[in-house]
Amino acid sequence: MLIFIRDMALVAAIVLLSGYSFAADLDTDRTIKIYHDADYSNHESSALAMMMGLNTALDEVGFQLQGYRLELVPKNHRGNSVRSKQHINEFIEDPDALFILGGLHSSPYIRYRDYINENQVLLLIPWAAGGPITRYDQGLNWVFRLSIDDTKAGYRMIQYAHDKKSCKTPHLLLEDTPWGKSNFETMSKAMKQYSDVKLSVSWFNWNTKVNSARILLRDIANSGSDCILFVGNSIEGVDIFEAIVSLEESQRLPVVSHWGITGGDFEKHIDAQKREKLDLSFIQTCFSFLGDKDNAIKDSIFDRAKKLYPQALESSVDVSSPAGFIHSYDLGKLFIQAVNEIKLTGDVRVDRVAIRNKLENINTPVEGLLKIYSAPFSAWSTDDQDAHEALGLDDFCMATYDKNGHVVVYPNDYIKEVD
């Protein structure tokens, strides 16, 4: 598994072992940079997983394309949107930066979506799920996503809660951010498939602590709701689920969660003993390092990653924050294919345009961990809102943690037809 790293010196060492050191021996004078705008401070598990996934894909081509050396440059925004914009500005001015690999948080990419597109910032998203991120109707759209998409995630979560958990009156517990608000909109629409019940909702802020969460959760339990749909990240998730565990058993409602809790160290704080007191499920994409034990492609990809990161990776049993690794690896494969179908000029402004255009017109199927991608992106328009989404609802599953804290993905075999 990917060892959870509390020693920040080790984190720094792993970050330094990014593309530059792997590619240092290449016979070329030109290095092309890929910025990774992510939260390496508060959600380092997901940030490191994304970094490792992309570097594993780049290693397959020796960290070079058409004679140019490739370097992944970690940029720590610490969960702060203003810092993220600083990284975007650095990218715009960097004559060697080709694209930005996004991070876990949706807020900066929603807040600065217009700015990103107006300045032709090529942004590839392997995690942030906020619906508006890839939907820009004022000109060319420069943002591509291979991840959960919140215009659809709520449908899978509501469907699972209704069909599998027999939940008829869910209560939404959402962080008060653009990400939470986009999920409220989607879940409200999704629930209308099953009933005219008006969803009840409670909002919480970042840094919500156990005591205030316990009061909120008691009110929800006493409201007549029969389950909770949760949208929040690992930091707040730890305190909120600590509060759930502390309640009387009769007040602990089943929780269907978004995947934000898997981006940090949630499973370390809410350990196996505490998880036994919870009925917890969360959304993921439909691939797991735990499944398909005889999958030679999966094994070869993990073996490559292990050679790159021998201090951090022990076995192929699991990867911490696995979605970050999986999606970044697959995005890396799509990026490589797009570059292989064009001619790099060395002028990053010209090359960004060429790659953006080619991503919308990839001619060759690309095999990733999640699936084989055939024309994963197309030209975006208001009539094709999903054109810059590589994944669809069929790629979204539900999951849970096993007793060892590994992510176990459920097949979508519980789904019932809506009357």
pLDDT for position 294 = 64
**pLDDT digit string (tens) for 198-237?**
789 999 999 899 999 999 999 999 999 999 999 999 999 9
Is residue 94 pLDDT above 90, yes or no?
yes
pLDDT for position 275 = 97
Phi-psi region of 295 (alpha: psi -120 to 50; beta: other; left: phi over 0): beta
Q: Domains in the chain and their CATH numbers? A: 8-147+293-391 (3.40.50.2300), 150-288+397-410 (3.40.50.2300)
| 180 to 105, 201, 231, 280, 322: CA distances (angstroms) | 11, 11, 6, 19, 22
**pLDDT digit string (tens) for 14-25?**
544 544 445 445
**pLDDT digit string (tens) for 157-178?**
999 999 999 999 999 999 999 8
CA angle, 52 as apex, 99 and 400 as ends, to 5°? 115
Average pLDDT over residues 185-203: 88
**pLDDT digit string (tens) for 258-281?**
999 999 889 999 999 999 999 999
Q: Give the whole-angstrom CA distance, residue 262 versus residue 231.
A: 12
pTM: 0.91
Q: Give the whole-angstrom CA distance, residue 116 versus residue 92.
A: 9
Q: Give the whole-angstrom CA distance, residue 14 versus residue 32.
A: 20
Is residue 67 pLDDT above 80, yes or no?
yes
Q: Give the whole-angstrom CA distance, residue 340 versus residue 355.
A: 10
Is residue 46 pLDDT above 80, yes or no?
yes
**pLDDT digit string (tens) for 340-398?**
999 999 999 999 999 999 999 998 999 999 999 999 999 999 999 999 999 999 999 99
Q: Give the whole-angstrom CA distance, residue 5 versus residue 311.
A: 10
Is residue 195 pLDDT above 90, yes or no?
no
Is residue 418 pLDDT above 60, yes or no?
no
pLDDT for position 178 = 87
Single-letter amino acid, residue 55: N
